[in-house]
Amino acid sequence: MESHGSGLRRVLLLSFCVAGIWAAYIYQGVLQETLSTKRFGEDEKRFEHLAFLNLAQNVVCLVWSFIMIKLWSNGGSGGAPWWTYWSAGITNTIGPAMGIEALKYISYPAQVLAKSSKMIPVMLMGSLVYGIRYTLPEYLCTFLVAGGVSMFALLKTSSKTISKLANPNAPLGYGLCFLNLAFDGFTNATQDSITARYPKTSAWDIMLGMNLWGTIYNMVYMFGLPHGSGFEAVQFCKQHPEAAWDILMYCLCGAVGQNFIFLTISRFGSLANTTITTTRKFVSIVVSSVLSGNPLSSKQWGCVSMVFENCGLGMPSGVLYQAMVVDPELYLELAGVSWRSACILYNENGTCYLYRRYHAAGLDRKISCYKERLRSGIVGIKKDDAVALFQSMLRSRPLPTVIDFSKLFTGIAKTKQYDLVLSLCEQMESNGIAHDIYTLSIVINCFCRCRRKLGFAFAVMGKMFKLGYKPDTVTFSTLINGLCLEGRVSEAVELVDRMVEMEVLPNLIILSTIVNGLCLQGKVSEAMALIDRMVDNECQPNAVTYGPILNRMCKSDNTALALDLLRKMELRKVKLDVFTHSMIIDGLCKDGNLEDALSLFNEMKTKGIKADVFTYNSLIGGFCNAGRWDDGAQLLKDMIAREITPDVNTFSALIDSFVKEGKLTEAKELYNEMIVRGIDPNTITNSSLIYGLCMENRLDEANQMTDLMDSRGCDPNIVTYSILLNKAKLVDEGMRLFRKMSVGGVVADTVTYSSLIQGFCQSGKLNVAKELFQEMVSEGVHPNIMTYGILLEGFKVDDAWDLFCSLPSKGVKPDVKTYTVMIGGLCKKGSLSEADALFRKMEEDGITPISGTYNTLIRAHLREGDLATSAKLIEEMKSCGFSADASTIKIVMDMLSDGRMKKSFLDLLS
């Protein structure tokens, strides 16, 4: 149930509609009778071309509706095509013409009252369409109303009226009135059929379509047929401008009145509109009689009272029952919200009977019927509630329209209960309610959202074609999105080409979706080709469409292509924004093309595109990475001068650059400035400053900054702790930091563990190093070759050899440094043969020895006095481009001095 505030708004809106309809049509009624009876000019001619009023009204309302659509329409598609109104246009043209023609024989009040007998077609439609059985009192009320109209027609009017009308109260006039009612009924039925088939049709769409055909028919009738009087009517208006003014005012009143009528129908239904237009008849009679000097006799007033009194009696027991079935909430608003108000508005007997009908229908047990629920909203509806509401709709009589089911299915689909929607759609169809294009579109959307059901979605589209429906852009967009979600982007491209063949122009959402999908698959050239084809078909992409292509180009180091595409976008008059330029500037900076980036940045200024913080951050980061910290600092000043607020990333880039340049003082000044500006340093900012302090061996200050980070809620990360561990003076201090890091929830990585293990190995605490290594493995941190190299260097030879031999089984391939360490260990142990064998195995494994490998093995053989092997290794080392190091030369010189080596051996080293 809607809130009290919502109900009040509806009542106020209804009052506004009532006032608008009454004001427009009461004044139009006065003008209509004036035109039919008034004499114009000195010759006192009457305007006898009353059929011309229909044409004039059509033209004015056509222009009015066209202007309203252009000003206020949201541009949505799905409205009824203009040609669907042709039949309604015929009856709508003939009906009013008969009504106007009737004024030649009867007075306007008599015509208005005759039209007040609309209860007869209402009861007829209620009996045939809704299956309602009416009681004897209801039939009696209907015939009393019709009798009142007949008695009114037979009574004589005043002599003044007789002098103004050629043949008052003629039966022909009333016959024309009844034909007018019949054609009006057909017109309304056709309009209801159109709005049912095309639910997105707006009130102004109907107004435009009806008046377009009305203009065509009346133009042919007035100017194309031999007996047409259009030219005479135009000539009369030229000779009598006063008549032209009255006609214009008559048409404007009709246009305003149509606006209020369609607003009433769209918000409250045709029943409310009929009630309003019927009740205004009485006011029209009074105003017309008073202003036109066409008074009613006392007997005629009695007939008027009888008609409307019986309308008041019959309405609750018949017509309002239909209102309860269709829209009980609106009924309660109109009837005064309570039964007591209903008794006051109508009469006690009629209301009591109405209550019996209300009770028999079961509406007193559950007033919040399906229409109320749909109108009040079904956002976030649960599965059980959705099923219950669906079942209540199936039990309703008359059955809800497919439009009502569409509202329910749309609400359920928004909660992502796609399988439920598909199940309910199947039940709806099995209950004899045929799908329309909107429910079929919902089904397609649900199949596309369900995994592995995209084929069913295409089958439903085939059903659309079979039923004669033409899928619109929304339907194709759903299918294309489904294809892209499954990675079938090439098929999506083919479907777009099929759309173009069917003359369904893809929108930017479709184009952007496919372009993004192609770019995610790296098919940039195909994305560009698709855009070119769409441009040829007058589908102009925007900057968002080009965005994924530019992004992919920049990330693939193709910034030159990105710049070329930017120029192409400019030629195509694509509106470029700061995001487009910033994306390319960022790519240029990462590629090191700083001058091109700065040129594009200056180009933005000339185009009037204001750079943002991301643009400046890209430039500052690029200059800082290139060591041009001074240019980065100048950009920061320019940024502040242009009132662009720097963020933490701006300062972090500059602080890191200053630290790496050894400008710790300037870095700390920037750090303090960002705090003054209210920008909190993040972990990256603090880690950079900690690194600078550690580089200057200011370890106490570095540790204090770490504690300050904790107090400010800025948690140090693995990079922060790794910096501190690398600079820790003592192994115990490093272990304290390591445990603090673990308590803080920071997971150590391979580098952190390796640094600690190296420290313990170098300090001779091999057992602690082994324990830390086992902890590293148990924590799931995988040692790398650097870790094993540290252990090999620290372990005893036998332990190191066992570890070395186990490396392949651990999935670790020894590198040249690992081999060198192991060869050195074997040499120190005196196992030269094992060292030589490992050296040859190293070469067999495709690992090229380095200078350290050769020198280590040469020194070992020299110490053993094996000059021949040493000489052979020296020759091999020289052929690889290496030379003896200082330690090797020292051993040679020592052996020369004590006579263990001939001087000729020294020539090998040169």
Residue 576 gets which letter from DSSP?
A: -
Burial class (CB in 10 A: 0-12, 13-18, 19+), 294: buried
Extract the tokens encoding 722.
């790794």
3-state secondary structure 234-289: HHHHHHCHHHHHHHHHHHHHHHHHHHHHHHHHHHHCHHHHHHHHHHHHHHHHHHHH
155 vs 176: CA distance, rounded Å: 19
> Using 50, 70 and 90 to split pLDDT, how confident is the model at 328?
very low
Instruction: Give the residue with greater pLDDT, 315 vs 744.
Output: 744
583 vs 562: CA distance, rounded Å: 9
Could you report the per-residue pLDDT of 460-489, keeping only the tens digit for each?
989 888 888 888 888 898 898 888 888 888
Q: Which residues contact 459 (CB under 8 A, 6 or more apart)?
A: none
**Residue 410 pLDDT > 50:** yes
Extract the tokens encoding 29.
């009624």
Mean pLDDT of 49-76: 78
**Residue 44 pLDDT > 80:** no
pLDDT at position 112 is: 55
**Residue 833 pLDDT > 80:** yes
> Using 50, 70 and 90 to split pLDDT, how confident is the model at 654?
very high
Q: Hey, which residues does 46 pair with through a beta bridge?
A: 39
Question: Is-contact 869 861, C-beta < 8 A?
Answer: yes
Give 3-state DSSP helix, strand, coil % of the chain, rounded to 5.
75, 0, 25
> Using 50, 70 and 90 to split pLDDT, how confident is the model at 289?
low
Extract the tokens encoding 755.
């640094």
Could you report the per-residue pLDDT of 748-794, keeping only the tens digit for each?
778 777 777 777 777 777 787 788 788 888 888 888 888 888 787 77
223 vs 578: CA distance, rounded Å: 60
Mean pLDDT of 887-904: 85
pLDDT at position 131 is: 43
Mean pLDDT estimate for the chain: 77
**Residue 500 pLDDT > 80:** yes
Residue type, 595: E
pLDDT at position 165 is: 41
Give the least confident one: 9-18, 128-137, 398-407: 128-137
392 vs 382: CA distance, rounded Å: 15
Angle at 572 between CA 569 and CA 573, to 5 degrees: 90
58 vs 230: CA distance, rounded Å: 14
633 vs 616: CA distance, rounded Å: 11
pLDDT at position 305 is: 64
Question: Is-contact 335 345, C-beta < 8 A?
Answer: yes
Q: Which residues contact 176 (CB under 8 A, 6 or more apart)?
A: 98, 99, 101, 102, 105
What are the C-alpha distances in Å from 277 to residues 106, 312, 352? 20, 14, 26
Mean pLDDT of 28-39: 76
**Residue 361 pLDDT > 50:** no
Could you report the per-residue pLDDT of 103-158, keeping only the tens digit for each?
666 665 565 555 555 556 545 544 553 344 545 555 665 566 556 655 654 554 44
Helix residue ranges, H only, 103-240: 108-115, 119-125, 136-154, 159-164, 171-197, 203-219, 230-239
Could you report the per-residue pLDDT of 299-317, keeping only the tens digit for each?
666 666 665 555 444 443 3
**Residue 723 pLDDT > 90:** no
* pTM across the whole model: 0.47
Give the least confident one: 542-546, 782-786, 856-860: 782-786
The number of beta carbons lying within 10 Å of the beta carbon of residue 903 is 7
Extract the tokens encoding 415.
């909660």
Domains of the chain, with CATH numbers?
Answer: 4-107+157-289 (no CATH), 817-910 (1.25.40.10)
444 vs 442: CA distance, rounded Å: 5
What whole-number percentage of the chain has pLDDT above 70? 75
> Using 50, 70 and 90 to split pLDDT, how confident is the model at 195?
low
The number of beta carbons lying within 10 Å of the beta carbon of residue 475 is 24
Extract the tokens encoding 500.
């173009």
The number of beta carbons lying within 10 Å of the beta carbon of residue 577 is 15
Among 470, 476, 420, residue whose Cα is nearest residue 446: 420
Instruction: Give the residue with greater pLDDT, 322 vs 279.
Output: 279
pLDDT at position 646 is: 92
Q: Helix, strand or coil for residue 29?
A: helix
> Using 50, 70 and 90 to split pLDDT, how confident is the model at 160?
very low
pLDDT at position 141 is: 56
Burial class (CB in 10 A: 0-12, 13-18, 19+), 713: exposed
**Residue 521 pLDDT > 60:** yes
* For the ranges 7-21, 690-704, 822-836, the one whose mean pLDDT is highest: 822-836
Burial class (CB in 10 A: 0-12, 13-18, 19+), 567: exposed
pLDDT at position 116 is: 57
**Residue 357 pLDDT > 60:** no
Angle at 511 between CA 510 and CA 512, to 5 degrees: 95
Rg of the chain, C-alpha, whole Å: 46
pLDDT at position 556 is: 84
Give the least confident one: 238-247, 258-267, 273-282, 735-744: 273-282
The number of beta carbons lying within 10 Å of the beta carbon of residue 10 is 17
256 vs 57: CA distance, rounded Å: 11
Residue type, 710: D
> Using 50, 70 and 90 to split pLDDT, how confident is the model at 344?
very low
The number of beta carbons lying within 10 Å of the beta carbon of residue 522 is 11
Residue 91's H or E segment, with its range, is: helix 86-102
Extract the tokens encoding 80.
């009824």
149 vs 153: CA distance, rounded Å: 6
pLDDT at position 743 is: 67
Give the least confident one: 75-79, 625-629, 641-645, 888-892: 75-79
334 vs 267: CA distance, rounded Å: 13
pLDDT at position 647 is: 92
Residue 422's H or E segment, with its range, is: helix 418-430
Residue type, 355: Y
> Using 50, 70 and 90 to split pLDDT, how confident is the model at 351?
very low
Among 208, 181, 187, residue whose Cα is nearest residue 116: 181
**Residue 878 pLDDT > 80:** yes
Question: Is-contact 654 670, C-beta < 8 A?
Answer: yes
> Using 50, 70 and 90 to split pLDDT, how confident is the model at 292?
low
